[in-house]
Structures are given as structure tokens and as C-alpha cells.
């Protein structure tokens, strides 16, 4: 099982993910896309990566706004798995 990151480790990881924030036991990022189809394309790409890693974010879809929440539920918080997934989401979602 993945081990929880310390508060300091989460803070350090967020320095490399400036568009992400910590919300309790989750890493959170909201992305605004130009159109609804663009948003769904990003969700599809994230789904492929998440499925390959067997580690899945919570995704909220509101028209063209996506909110990603990464947490390792089995560990009860943020682990390296979440940081790695957040990096991939950042790459796929762009700015």
C-alpha cells in the first residue's frame, strides 16, 4: 500500500504544481476549457492514464470546467500516487 506523504512533502510537491492546491486529504485543480467537447477530451485522456495506473481521480464536470481531486482513499490521504497523477493531469490539461 502507498504511504501517506507528510505535510512537508505535500507542500514540496505543490511547489512543482502551482495550479494545484491542497484541500484536506486531496490535491485539487480546476481547469477551464474553451468548449464542452474540449473538456470531455481531457477527461477521456485522463481516464486512459488513470486506468493504466489503476489510480483514479474524482472528476467533477460542469459544462467546460473540470475539477480534479486526487487522493489515495485506501491510505486515507495524499501519497506519491496522487502527486504523479496530478503531474499527468497537468500535462494533459495544459494551462
The predicted-structure confidence for 40-67, as pLDDT tens digits, reads as follows 999 999 999 999 999 999 999 999 999 9
Rounded-to-integer distance, Cα 78 and Cα 7, Å:
9
Q: Is 11 helix (H, G, I), strand (E, B) or coil?
A: helix
pLDDT at 83 over 70: yes
Count the neighbouring beta carbons within 10 Å of the beta carbon of residue 48: 11
For cell 477551464, the residue is 32
Give the predicted TM-score (pTM) of the model.
Answer: 0.95
Q: What is the dihedral of CA 75, 68, 22, 9, to 10 degrees?
A: 60
Find the mean pLDDT for residues 23-35.
97
Q: How high does pLDDT run on average in the chain?
A: 96
3-state SS class at 2: coil
Q: What backbone torsions phi and psi does residue 61 show, to the nearest 5 degrees?
A: -110, 120
Amino acid at each position: 500500500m502507498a504511504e501517506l506523504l507528510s505535510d512537508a512533502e505535500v507542500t514540496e510537491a505543490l511547489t512543482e504544481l502551482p495550479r494545484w492546491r491542497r484541500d484536506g486529504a486531496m490535491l485539487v485543480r480546476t481547469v477551464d476549457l474553451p468548449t464542452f467537447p474540449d473538456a470531455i477530451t481531457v477527461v477521456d485522456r485522463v481516464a486512459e492514464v488513470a486506468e493504466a495506473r489503476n489510480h483514479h481521480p474524482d472528476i467533477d464536470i460542469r459544462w467546460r470546467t473540470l475539477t480534479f481531486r486526487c487522493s489515495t482513499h485506501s491510505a486515507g490521504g495524499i501519497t506519491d500516487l496522487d502527486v504523479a497523477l496530478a503531474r499527468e493531469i497537468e500535462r494533459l490539461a495544459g494551462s
